Structure 1
Amino acid sequence: MKNKYLVSIAAIVLLIAGTPFLISGDHIDAPSVTGTTSDISSFYAFEGENSNNLVLIANLQGFLPSGVPTQNAEFDEDVLVEFNIDTTGDLVEDLVIQSIKRGDTMYFFGPTVPSSTGLESEIATFATINKVAISEGTTDAEAIVSENNNMKFFAGPRDDPFFFDLNRYTAILNGEVSDFNEEGEDAYAEKNVLSIAIEIPKSMLGAASVGTNPFEPTTPVYSIWVESKRKQ
């Protein structure tokens, strides 16, 4: 019997059209998984240095302090991270790229048509398999990047690039103030995450849907989201 993985948290759906950079943030917004190894902190999608490529980055385990806590943080072998790609505009994944840790290596499967859609997944062992050694140590250590099948892969600790004035935001919600400061205070400064990064040629995703974006109905659009799924 194949192991099944059930969704524990999903980042917000993104639309990739002509926009060069899109971001979804989910720091401490999911109480059931906050502080766990399946907690997604942010998701980035943007064009690579080569504009024919798309870069997808999922960050997990946000708010890692620098030093030993970051160096000791590990990806969970029971957590599957799945990038979902909708090419038809129906918000159902047509392709997936899956990543999961085994030992000191991160394995990637896809892009491929998933065996099932929705909340449950099985590892697509029938798909193209790639891997990269997980970068360890401090976040400024040289990144280990593997390149194969025209794709690039990275997995390891990195500085959290997300910027947000959390204290001011909380004060606004509590009615203490009414707006943000002109210059905010970054709540994520000197905090780290565990990152999974993929660079993939757009050509490997096939044709995108048109008519999805009401403001640019003729512009092809990919809808992309990321999920973490825990072994059941």
Structure 2
Amino acid sequence: MKKTKFLISTAVLGIATLVAIAADHIDAPAVQGGTSDITDFYAFEGEDDSNIAFVANVQGLLGAGSDTQNAAFDENVLIEFNIDTNDDKVEDLVIQATARDGKMYFFGPVAPSQTGLNSTIASTTTNQASVDISAYGASAIIENANGMKFFAGPRDDPFFMDFAQYGQIIAGNASSFNSPGTDTFAGTNVMSIVIEVPKSMIGGSGTINTWVESKRKQ
């Protein structure tokens, strides 16, 4: 079996019982503006409350039209969702996503062969699936497999931030955000990877810690 190693390039941490959100729009120097740049990570209870949805967004601030139409997932980047089920801050399970030839391939949840900065794709796990990457402006393609649901493709950036007012607050010129404020990310897009997983596959009803990493092939 060929083993491919990936080294970490950036990470965003969230801790989830029902909802976790973290954001990092192109401010990590090592990946700024790159295809491995994580913009947001979300974890929340699904419409079916026996499931948890994980969302990793990469390549932020894609403009409408040609910017997004020409955007693509980097085939040399692995997106790894990490799940800690015993609160030791070490991943007990991972769900890996990697793109190839117009599809996003998923592996897990599965116990990783190694923890930390290096990863090997869990190509022997029985929990495997793939989904065609949805095109910009087209209907979302969703795949169901092994009790899970999968999506990959461009989406409107869901993160709301009024950066102008934030700057005024930091400068001491304002004490609060406007209501509703101005959405700095309005009209921009991200490349999204979405997985909905039964809770029974990732620790049942207990509390989990979860974070996502992007790792570039070495």
Instruction: Tell me the TM-score normalized by structure 2.
Output: 0.94
* Unaligned runs of at least 5 residues, structure 2: none
**1:112, distance to aligned residue in structure 2 (A):** 0.3
Decide whether the 8 Å contact of 2:14 with 2:21 is kept in 1: no
In 2, Cα distance between equivalents of 1:73 and 1:118 = 29
Q: Give the one of 178, 195, 205 matched to 1:198.
A: 195
- The aligned residue for residue 150 of structure 2 is 153
- The aligned residue for residue 216 of structure 2 is 230
Q: Could you report, residue by residue, the CA deviation over 1:144-191 in whole angstroms, capped at 9, with x for unpaired residues? A: 000011110000000001101012212333444443223311001011
Q: Give the one of 10, 31, 46 matched to 2:29.
A: 31
Q: SS in structure 2 opposite 1:12?
A: strand
Q: Does 1:90 align with 2:76?
A: no
Q: Could you report, residue by residue, the CA deviation over 1:169-214 in whole angstroms, capped at 9, with x for unpaired residues? A: 1233344444322331100101100000001100011346xxxxxx
- The aligned residue for residue 139 of structure 2 is 142
- The aligned residue for residue 179 of structure 1 is 176
> Root-mean-square deviation (CA), in Å?
1.4
Calculate percent identity across the aligned residue pairs.
55
* Unaligned runs of at least 5 residues, structure 1: 209-219
Q: SS in structure 2 opposite 1:189?
A: coil
In the alignment of these two chains, the number of paired residues is 216
Decide whether the 8 Å contact of 2:14 with 2:41 is kept in 1: no
Q: SS in structure 2 opposite 1:11?
A: strand
- The aligned residue for residue 6 of structure 1 is 7
- The aligned residue for residue 132 of structure 1 is 131
Q: SS in structure 1 opposite 2:13?
A: coil
In 1, Cα distance between equivalents of 2:40 and 2:196 = 17
Which amino acid in structure 2 is aligned with residue 132 of structure 1? V
**1:34, distance to aligned residue in structure 2 (A):** 1.4
Q: SS in structure 1 opposite 2:167?
A: helix
Decide whether the 8 Å contact of 2:150 with 2:195 is kept in 1: yes
**Structure 1 runs of 4+ with >2 Å offset:** 170-183
In 1, Cα distance between equivalents of 2:24 and 2:159 = 10
Which amino acid in structure 1 is aligned with residue 80 of structure 2? E
In 1, Cα distance between equivalents of 2:136 and 2:16 = 34
In 2, Cα distance between equivalents of 1:204 and 1:226 = 18
